[in-house]
Copies of this chain bind each other. A is one copy, B any other.
Amino acid sequence: MNQSSVRAPAAARPAARAAAARRRHSTAAPRSSLASQQAATAAPVFHYTEIELQTGPGISVHNIMPQLRAEVARLGVAEGFVNVLSRHTTTAVCINEYETRLLDDIRQFLRRLAPPTDPYLHNDLHLREAPEGWPGGWEAWAQQEPENAHSHLLSLMLGNSETVPISGGELKTGVWQSVMLVELDGPRKRSVGVQIVGTAPPRAGGQQ
């Protein structure tokens, strides 16, 4: 998948909200039964890929909803789910609203929660050992090792995986929700693990 650090265009939200309201008021039972029947006809596909991102400095939030939607559509998965994994110890995967000013609130809130200027044991590089066999030994390791204990703590608090159901070919997030990678020690090149599991409806007139 392509690198992605740009913000997604704002969706036509009132229309989406109206559509969501319509769906919410329809009776759930018949739709569920149909989905179950279709899903029972074939073994599910397990599809794993990684989204690569160039993140911003310090704390930054990256909307990966467009990539997730594109991948679900490309695979044609009708019933299933997407599991999204933060693959770094100083990033997190979250779901919330991708609104410009809220992103600044998130940054400020997280900085207050675990200030980078607080004392942390993990940041005393001179008291830590380099991993065994590090090329160049301790000096080389210490030179490239960031003082980022606060980023680890925030990653721990925010969480590192979220799972979102797919039904009727659509991710079932709410109208205002986006799946986002939260960078806590940028800028860096990062990869997000994305696994899509599910079944596609049989194609008309041929093998699946």
Main secondary structure, interface of A, reads mixed
The answer to the question of A45 belonging to the interface, with a C-beta cut-off of 8 Å to chain B, is: yes
Cβ contacts A132-175/B at 8 Å (1 or 0 each): 11110000000000000100110111111111110100001110
Contacts of A46 in B (CB 8 A): 35-36, 39, 44, 79-81, 167, 198-199
Contact partner of A28 (CB less than 8 A), chosen from B1, B75, B101, B157, is: B1
Tell me, in angstroms, the Cα distance from A106 to B12 when the chains sit together. Answer: 36
Tell me, in angstroms, the Cα distance from A28 to B152 when the chains sit together. Answer: 28
A residues in contact (CB < 8 Å) with B? 1, 10, 12-15, 24, 28, 32, 35-36, 39-50, 52, 75, 79-81, 83, 85-89, 94-97, 99, 101-102, 104-106, 109, 114, 120-122, 124, 127-128, 131-135, 149, 152-153, 155-165, 167, 172-174, 176-177, 191, 193, 195, 197-199
